[in-house]
Structure 1
Amino acid sequence: MATIDDGTRPTFVEEVKSAVTARAALLVIGVLGLMVAFITSYAGAFHHPKPDRVPLAVVAPAQVRGELVQKLDRLPGAPLDPRPAASEQAARRQIEDRTLDAALLVDPRATTDRLLVASGGGASLSQAVEAIVTAAEKQQGRTVRTQDVIPAAAGDGRSLSAFYLVVGWCVGGYLCAAILAISAGARPANRQRAVIRLAALALYAIAAGLAGAIVVGPILGALPGSLFGLWGLGALTVFAVGATTLAFQGLLGVIGIGLAILVIVVFGNPSAGGAYPYPLLPPFWQAIGPALPPGAGTWAARSIAYFRGQSLTGPLLVLSAWAVGGALVTIALATLHKTADERAGGVAAGGEKHLPA
């Protein structure tokens, strides 16, 4: 046990003060805050999934179409957002381009109608729509036969593979940036060092994107679609998350890693539309999901795998914005850091010139 200068043994409180620095205490408190935020975000998003204005096409003869749309629109809690469609072909096209999530085909001459769903875009959403429409039709003395027009692959249980793939890419992105910070300092010493880190991250992103695409495609058979499309998406996702983490580190130092976890993991993962697609999430998570890398990546991966690349522009722009923004902020902060150090060095040098011999 250490002793104080006068030879007496330190008290327990003094030992604690010596062993636990203020910086360590603040970091532990920050970790506790992240844990509470994690529990709150995941439980808040998933504890009570409820359909909210799910886009649904209604194909029916003109004389009954309007009334049927109104009835479905007035269901308690507004779970559906019904809209008329001219034909089954038109409804299918809108499902395939991800404008709609389902379509109800009504035949007044029979007592059974058809419901078209696309479980490739989210099995939980398809099941929720089926339950709602079945209950509504039962009240009218009718039955529903469900047809999955874009089913999830046999190896893609509950269509979650795209989500887990993107989560893996995101984890790889911020861990790579964190390792660069641990090994060489949280803040790059100058602009050249920042560019080198970003270049290393880019090479890693290319390798990580390819590895993920190979695992879920040829190896596991979990996701269909273009291997090269998923590879490109993976590289962009990993770089976007990694560059964002580098930017946060340049701004806040090691604490920036915690901020990256808050944005990507705590807020990004539960709002990504993985386990529960957007119409099943509460409003807050619906709003932020498409703007964060996990949500944009999950939507894009499902589009590549099941929807022939439809509705990709928005998610790719989101990921590109995080990638470019993170890279520019990283370089800008490194430049400012070097300038500040040079000014400090200049003041010190200037002061030394006027010191007496």
Structure 2
Amino acid sequence: MTRTTRGGGLDGDPSTGFLSEVKDAVSTRTALLVIGVLAVQLAFIASYIGAFHKPKPHEIPIAVTAPAAQITDQAVEQLRALPGKPLKPRAVKDEAEALSQIKNRDVDGALIVDPRAPGDRLLVASGAGASLSQALEEILGATEKAQKRTLTVTDVVPDDPGDARGLSSFYLVVGWCVGGYLCASALAISAGAKPANPARALIRLCVMLLYAIVAGLLGAVIAGPVLGALPGSVMALWGLGSLLVFAVGAITLAFQGIAGVVGIGLAILLVVVLGNPSAGGAYPYPLLPGFWRGIGPVLPPGAGTFAARSIAYFKGNGAGGPFLILAAWAVGAAAVTLVLSFLRQDKKALDDRLTEAATAPRRDPS
């Protein structure tokens, strides 16, 4: 039985005190990591609440058409002059062109003006996000009411019955992103946070690619045929998922090559803290504050969400740009991972030569 010596340390050693025990239990490195975790946590709270606490429409692209060009131009100017610039109207030739632009994802809605009727018609696409179509209904409904006219709303690209509020694409993308950075973290931590050499880095990237192919397929099958949450091509979703998972995994490996274990936190900061609230899931880009609206399209979650909705509801229209963004992340991060491994190998070889030279026995000049 261990006794605590009066005035001694917590382990009974009189030569140690409470502060010494604290220093032994929590090293400086551990304390810095805990502070880092706190910073990521606070950034998470600030980012999510900052993005979602007060959605406000900003320059939602909308097509406008009327029987006469003069009436169309007049309607465009009226909508452009709305306080706060909630809409970004553009004149189109006719309803057919307006519908085509909606389905090509060039605009998020269309106002069909008919001065001969008691009201006008609004075309929306809830497949692009229910909150976005609702915002258009509210804005234009109030505008029509002020003019003592009615508004008839037609959903030309409705979300699927199994896809509540069009959020399944976002949740699928979040799942793929989580798998990407967790797999990469497991690969790196299992044998040290930094790649020891180019061969190990290349092996990890190859394993990451195989994982991404499997994860992309299974995610697409679960969201599509199994749960019936997303329509659209399973093959296209598979390709998107594989590219997204590999891109996020490669980003994580690159950050780990730069900062070691801390790189995992940097990957979470980029993908989760900044990427998820700006992805356009719950609130599409035109409803987000400026900072999140600006970064969302170029981060993996945002590019993935936009592409997934395009595949599910718009026959892939508009998905080309997001695919290129994800490909750039994947190629760039993989290149950084490999370059860092070569640099580290060269540095290790140089250190070994210097150590060998320093410890080699010196010859007697005589």
* TM-score, with structure 2 as normaliser: 0.95
Structure 1 residues 205-257: Cα deviation after superposition (integer angstroms, max 9, x where no partner): 00000010010000010000000000000000000000000000000000000
What is the alpha-carbon distance in structure 2 between the residues aligned to residue 7 and residue 330 of structure 1? 48
Select the residue among 165, 172, 178 that pairs with 2:179: 172
Amino acid at match of 1:22: T
Q: Which runs of structure 2 are paired with 1:5-24 in the superposition (5 Å)?
A: 8-24=14-30
With over 3 angstroms needed to count, the CA separation of the structure-2 counterparts of 1:298 and 1:8, relative to structure 1, is same
How many percent identity over aligned positions?
60
SS at 1:145's partner residue?
strand
Point out the more displaced range, 104-113 or 156-165: 104-113
The yes-or-no answer on 1:86 pairing with 2:87 is no
Gaps spanning 5+ residues in structure 1: where?
none
How much has 1:6 moved relative to structure 2? 12
What is the alpha-carbon distance in structure 2 between the residues aligned to residue 63 and residue 30 of structure 1? 59
The yes-or-no answer on 1:144 pairing with 2:151 is yes
Corresponding position of 2:64: 58
Task: Give the count of matched residue pairs.
Answer: 357
Corresponding position of 1:288: 295
With over 3 angstroms needed to count, the CA separation of the structure-2 counterparts of 1:356 and 1:166, relative to structure 1, is same
What is the alpha-carbon distance in structure 2 between the residues aligned to residue 208 and residue 281 of structure 1? 30
Q: Which runs of structure 2 are paired with 1:265-284 in the superposition (5 Å)?
A: 265-284=272-291
Select the residue among 338, 343, 348 that pairs with 1:341: 348
Select the residue among 205, 212, 220 that pairs with 1:213: 220
The yes-or-no answer on 1:71 pairing with 2:78 is yes
Select the residue among 106, 122, 125 that pairs with 2:129: 122
Select the residue among 41, 49, 60 that pairs with 1:43: 49
What is the alpha-carbon distance in structure 1 between the residues aligned to residue 277 and residue 155 of structure 2? 26
The yes-or-no answer on 1:352 pairing with 2:359 is yes
With over 3 angstroms needed to count, the CA separation of the structure-2 counterparts of 1:138 and 1:18, relative to structure 1, is same
How much has 1:181 moved relative to structure 2? 1.5
Amino acid at match of 1:70: E
Corresponding position of 2:243: 236
Select the residue among 163, 184, 203 that pairs with 2:170: 163
What is the alpha-carbon distance in structure 2 between the residues aligned to residue 319 and residue 355 of structure 1? 56
How much has 1:63 moved relative to structure 2? 3.3
What is the alpha-carbon distance in structure 2 between the residues aligned to residue 118 and residue 223 of structure 1? 15
Select the residue among 255, 258, 264 that pairs with 1:251: 258
Q: Is the 8 A contact 2:10 2:18 kept in 1?
A: no
Amino acid at match of 1:48: K
Corresponding position of 2:39: 33
The yes-or-no answer on 1:102 pairing with 2:109 is yes
How much has 1:76 moved relative to structure 2? 1.1
SS at 2:111's partner residue?
strand
How much has 1:4 moved relative to structure 2? 10
4+ residue runs of structure 1 moved beyond 4 angstroms? 1-7
How much has 1:62 moved relative to structure 2? 2.2
Gaps spanning 5+ residues in structure 2: where?
none
* TM-score, with structure 1 as normaliser: 0.97
Structure 1 residues 142-161: Cα deviation after superposition (integer angstroms, max 9, x where no partner): 00010000000010000000
Amino acid at match of 1:67: Q
